Amino acid sequence: MSNIDEIIAQSSFSLSDLEQLLRCEGEDMLRLLEHGGRIKNLYSGNKVYFRGLIEFSNICQKDCFYCGIRHSNRSVQRYNLTDQEILEAARFADECNFGSIVLQSGENSSPASADRISKLVEQIKHQSKGRLGITLSVGEQPEPVYRQWFEAGAHRYLLRIETTNQTLFRKIHPQNLLHDFNRRLDCLHALRAIGYQTGTGVMIGLPFQTMGDLAQDLLFFQQFGIDMVGMGPYLEHSQTPLYKFRNELLPIQKRFELSLKMIATLRILMKDINIAAATALQAIDPMGREKGIKVGANIIMPNITPGLYRNDYLLYENKPCIDEEPSQCKGCLDARIAMADGEIGYGEWGDSLHFKTRTKT
Ligand code: 5AD
Ligand code: FES
């Protein structure tokens, strides 16, 4: 029996165990990935849930050094979908029986934007007769705003911590209050206290990031008791400050493998959470998301942003499917999930079992 087999058979994991899992290669890696898939099937079945992703605006007040739509990138054509377009996209998700949508945008902390989002959440709930679950992913906001949206009907929130190494966090963000690690952490705590199913995540293969950092990220998810995780490879974007470190990154294929190892390891560590197969996986490998599903992920976020705008929401380059229309995505996904031995949870919210367990009275 190899060391890897011994580690994955344990019921709790130290930082060094996790680091060893993330470092494994060849046969050992294949065994880890297989085990991630097995644990998923055992604890959450082979269902894959869809969240129709609506990237409704790329206008952003933040200036993260890695992100293609950062405020300072003047070559981005900025857009903001009309309410009509957003409601239309939500109707499409409902017609496809996706069960849930994610409303995502750049960060905007104006009160007008907060009220607009509340109204949209209410309208989407109304038009889908309560069928669609709504996840928001619109950045750091004041606690009362999070509460207002929760009361309007949103019940999940995604806010990636990006990295839990605070020194690394400072290297990849400008030094100001808008980009403060503790502020982001406070937001995650506020979201959880309000009652949201709370999701976070990190980028994998950032410049200066170590295996120890990633192992620590996994422990953070566990210690926080997070309900959902979305994490994917860091992909360089030529119009961002981090691009100058492109020669110091792990080769792209290694970043991809490391992302799969992160998913499998997290699944072994947290058996009942929802784990998304990030779109960034598909930017590296055409079957990237399906491979993510095979090793432990159970959520896919098909992009249902109207085709016209997809080219302008480029957090990273080589983003997949930017020339498709939403209707083309559906048939494509059905076939892809079948290939990954998954079954689509049509018409279901697909809440994380972890959330259900932790809120049971
Ligand atoms: N590569 C990969 N992921 C990125 N994100 C932003 N820029 C990049 C990039 N260059 C991710 C961040 C953010 C999410 C919306 O997209 O983790 O939280
Ligand atoms: Fe921060 Fe896009 S500007 S993730």
pLDDT in tens, 56-110: 999 999 999 999 999 999 999 999 999 999 999 999 999 888 899 999 999 999 9
In terms of Cα–Cα distance, which of 55, 139, 51 is closest to 98?
51
Strand-pair partners of 197: 156
The atom number, within ligand 2, closest to the CA of 315 reads 2
Q: In this model, does residue 321 exceed pLDDT 80?
A: no
Stretch 158-187: mean pLDDT, rounded?
97
Listed in order, strand segments (DSSP E) in 64-118 are: 100-105
- Residue 341: pLDDT band (50, 70, 90) is low
* 340 band by pLDDT with thresholds 50, 70 and 90: low
The most confident of the ranges 92-96, 132-136, 283-287 is: 132-136
Q: Is the CB of 92 under 6 A from ligand 1?
A: no
| CA–CA–CA angle 273, 211, 28 (5° rounding) | 75
Distance from residue 225's CA to the centre of ligand 1 (Å): 22
Residue whose CA is closest, atom 2 of ligand 1?
234
pLDDT at 44: 80
Q: Is 51 helix (H, G, I), strand (E, B) or coil?
A: strand
> Is-contact 82 305, C-beta < 8 A?
no
Q: Of ligand 1's atoms, which has the minimum distance to the CA of residue 66? A: 10
- Residue 132 is classified by DSSP as S
Cα–Cα distances (Å) from 189 to 143, 157, 181, 238, in that order, read 10, 12, 13, 34
pLDDT confidence of residue 345: 76
Token look-up 């503790």 returns: 182
Q: Which residue has the higher pLDDT, 355 or 199?
A: 199
142 C-alpha to center of ligand 1: Å?
22
SS3 category, 215 = helix
Averaged over 109-119, what is the pLDDT?
97
**Considering only CA atoms, which residue is closest to atom 3 of ligand 2?**
70
Q: How many Å apart are CA 223 and CA 279, to the nearest integer? A: 26
What's the chain's length in residues? 361
pLDDT band at 1 (very low <50, low <70, confident <90, very high): low
pLDDT of 314 > 90? The answer is: no
Domain ranges, residue 87: 3-358
- In the chain, the number of structural domains is 1
Instruction: Indicate which residue's Cα is closest to atom 4 of ligand 2.
Output: 67
Please report, for the domain that includes residue 197, its CATH number. 3.20.20.70
Percent of the chain with pLDDT over 90: 78
**Average pLDDT, stretch 104-132?**
97
* DSSP assignment letter at 265: H
Ligand 1 probe mutation, 72, 203, 305, most atoms within 8 A of CB: 203
pLDDT on residue 350: 78
Residue 99 CA: distances (Å) to CA of 1, 4, 108, 129, 132: 43, 38, 27, 12, 5
CA-CA distance, 204 to 214, in Å (whole number)?
8
Q: Is the CB of 242 under 6 A from ligand 1?
A: no
